A and B are shown apart, each in its own frame.
Chain A
Amino acid sequence: MWQPKMSLNRRRFLATTALGAAAAATGSLAMTSVLLAQGAAVKLGVLHPVTGALSYSGQQGRLGATMAIADINAAGGIKSLRGTKIDAILGDAQSTPQGGTAEVEKMNAAGAAGIVGGYASSICLAVSQAAARYNLPYVVDVGVADSIVKRGLKNTFRFGPGFGVIAKTALDNLVAINDQAGKPAKTVIIVHEDSLFGSGLAKLLNAQLPAKGFQILDTIAHPTPTRDFSTIVLKIKARNPDLVIPANYYNEYVLLARTMREQHVRLKGIYSVLGGAASSYKFVHDFPEAARYIMDCNHWFNPHSEKALALKKKVEAGGHYFTYEVYMNYSAVELIADAFERAASTDRDKVIAALASSTFSGHIMPYGPTKFVDGQNQGAAPVNTQVLDNDIKVVMPPQFANAKPVFPMPA
């Protein structure tokens, strides 16, 4: 009975394979994932890991970028280009550097005037190099590795802060918060994921925390994904630190925080640096008990910005959480759109020059004046947040704060 079906499936398989091979041979793969240009629209590559281990963050990033494009288009497009609209060329890095590189090739072939996104540092590194081959302007959305903008690539720009600035701010703020509370925290355990982001951060913290008067009891690495934190939490419980500093992505962060709560680990604080979930409304909504009083030094929007609050409302109305991927991508797209506006052109050299000399303002981030040095925005800085009253409040720095820190956290 199944014989004819088998033969049909085989034919189908071969037909699909042949289709793919033929498409590859003719170069028509460039058309995949491409929203075709309408007229003379400015094509912008929107590249995220929307499948694979980082898919949630990637999809959030894509959401932010496409919302920015929609808003810019609704506001009249690029005015210096006679109201030309921006068309998104969507790409999926599949959570791998090679996936990101392949998408850059497609975007370049499709005539992209620039690329925004990447999310993970390893993807950003690969994407920036692939884009540099074509002098294709690239705005990093999140990737925080300092090496992304320290290789002399003229095409690569990062609007947000890098590791160095984030770690310094996090440490300074930790010391300030601890000092204000009478120095209750003295010992620390760092739990980090073992790729570029977590390990880089752990290295920095290990180098700098002792000088700030903290004793590091242990540094525990884990892979992404990790689906069981019982052993790690038992280890934490046995060492009984005052502070736990997690540095991992969303799923692992949630699991770690929940496991610590379940195993009644008594801490004076959970202080994250770029905590994957600590500054996430989804985490606060889904696991309010585990999230309570967690502090984080992370990317955040300006809580005093009307524009940011309006965007938050719009994102939430769409059934999504207003995560850092959303507003960082929103801002990255606004930055490159501003560069198109200033350059009055989509010529790659002119756009890169416009980005390099950008003084982009009126954005939704809590940053100082925009000024790029070697591709890094010098005005970018993280803020400290804390989960208070089932909400996420900014507690540092004072000019952007909308609450005071609660430390040590009540038992």
Chain B
Amino acid sequence: MKGFLLIAIVVAAFAAVPLVVHSNVTLNFLVVALLIALAGQGWNVLGGYGGQYSFGHAAFFGTGAYVTAVLQMRYGVNAWIGFAAGIAAGSAVGAIVGTLAFRAGLRSSYFALVTLAFAEVLRILASVAPITGAGVGMLIKLDLRAQSFQFQSRALFYLVILALVAVALVTAQMLERSRFGAWLIAVRENEDAAMALGVDAFSIKLGAMVLSAAITAAAGGFYAQYFLFVDAGIAYGTWISIEALLTPVIGGVGTVFGPLVGALAAKSLGEGAKLVTGDVPGLDLMIYGAMLVLVIRFVPHGIVGAFADVSDRIKRRVLAARAPAREAVHG
């Protein structure tokens, strides 16, 4: 319950932001950060909890984005239904990629490369297929009405993406507490040992892949509605695979809040670097890159992981301090 309570507090705090902050600059910043956090949480389910490091989450992000856009613009489907269909389609792509990769017994770097290859194949297909607008991309018509999943106010977009992040946080928390999650972590720690204990590693990994894909596809669908334009480079480009991977790495792989903390830290770092560098082109990106290297070098378990490490160290010291006292009493 402690975990869910913490999620409720964090989400409530974020939900209160539009009440005190009216700057669209800030809201846009937070929307993008939460969007990346959502994609990162998708990656975290599979990579963090399942130990299956994907380099191709763009495949799910792009499918979510394209299905949302194509259904609206080509078939006149309502945007919300298109968004739901995008999540379903992203999950389906996850199921296909997962079935093929896990059935073939691909692990670690081989799995990473295969996911990257799938994303690239989809990018190339999207850049030539007429239904996706080929290289021209898909432009969603500006229609600032709630029923079109478009809002005049950035605050409403912010609340929608916050709700999606909240669902993803609850999902991760449930994963940590569920039997499925325990099996998934067992597979991550030692797949052969887990299988020897009767865990169906294939089904568990596939389930995690589908869940991971669904969350990332939701981020893709939201991207399409927020920016109203997708093309192959945006939807299936490596940028989102990297962002989805980086945020949990910075925040803490395999932790509930890791992707959220990582996304906020990374985006704040980027903006902080801009504040420092002013208008010198690229200097902010150089500082951002250097800081990332430092974080990865000196905080290998991510920000949340570092806090957990410190907390563990304190607990151990307290226990160690108590032990001689106990021995003295009993001795």
Contacts and interface: CB of A to CB of B under 8 A. Distances in A.
A16 B269 CA distance: 6
B174 interface: no
Nearest to A50: B281
Contacts of A17: 265, 268-269, 272
A203 B265 CA distance: 42
A92 interface: yes
Contacts of A92: 279, 281
Given A25-B21, A33-B279, A97-B227, A10 B299 contact: yes
A27 B137 contact: no
Contact of A20 (B128, B139, B232, B275): B275
A94 to B, nearest CB: 8
A55 B280 CA distance: 12
A24 B275 CA distance: 11
Interface string A4-31: 0010011001001111110111110111
Contacts of B28: 101-102, 105
- Residue from the set B128, B135, B233, B298 with the largest chain A CB neighbour count within 10 Å: B135
Interface string B20-35: 0111111011101000
**Which of the listed residues B25, B141, B285, B291 has the most CB atoms from chain A within 10 Å of its own CB?**
B25
A24 B20 CA distance: 12
Contacts of A35: 279
B192 to A, nearest CB: 36
Contacts of B279: 33, 35, 90, 92
A24 B30 contact: yes
A51 B294 CA distance: 22
Interface in A151-168: 151, 153
B23 A27 contact: yes
Given A13-B295, A25-B21, A132-B142, A194 B127 contact: yes
Interface in A180-200: 192-196, 198-200
B29 to A, nearest CB: 5
B271 A24 contact: yes
A106 interface: yes
B142 A129 contact: yes
B168 to A, nearest CB: 20
A221 interface: yes
Interface residues of A, number: 61
Contacts of B137: 122, 195-196
A94 B267 CA distance: 14
A159 B152 CA distance: 28
A125 B294 contact: no
B126 to A, nearest CB: 10
A6 B227 contact: no
B36 to A, nearest CB: 10
Interface in B120-148: 127-128, 134-137, 139, 141-142, 144
A102 B298 contact: no
B281 A29 contact: no
B79 to A, nearest CB: 15
Given A32-B271, A97-B227, A125-B229, A27 B26 contact: yes
A267 B270 CA distance: 48
Interface string B259-276: 000001101111111110
A196 B228 contact: no
Contacts of A145: 136
A98 B269 CA distance: 17
Nearest to B30: A24
Given A24-B271, A101-B227, A102-B32, A223 B282 contact: no
Nearest to B135: A199
Interface in A27-70: 27, 29-33, 35, 50-51, 55, 58-59
A198 B227 CA distance: 21
Nearest to B128: A221
A126 interface: yes
A109 interface: yes
A361 interface: no
Contact of B139 (A31, A108, A151): A151
B97 to A, nearest CB: 21
B282 A55 contact: yes
A51 B282 CA distance: 6
Given A10-B298, A21-B264, A126-B229, A221 B135 contact: yes
Interface string A206-227: 0000000000000001011000
Contacts of A31: 275
A27 B273 contact: no
B291 A13 contact: yes
Interface string A351-390: 0000000000000000000000000000000000000000
A80 interface: no
Contacts of A59: 281
A230 interface: no
Contacts of B275: 19-20, 23, 29, 31-32
B234 interface: yes
B228 to A, nearest CB: 6
Interface string B273-293: 111001101100100000100
A196 B23 contact: no
A-B pairs with lowest CB-CB distance, top 8:
A199-B135, A20-B268, A20-B272, A27-B23, A50-B281, A194-B127, A21-B268, A105-B28
26 contacts: A9-B294, A13-B291, A13-B299, A17-B268, A17-B269, A20-B272, A20-B275, A27-B21, A27-B25, A29-B25, A29-B29, A50-B281, A96-B234, A97-B227, A102-B28, A105-B154, A106-B25, A108-B24, A109-B23, A122-B137, A122-B229, A126-B228, A129-B142, A194-B232, A200-B136, A221-B128
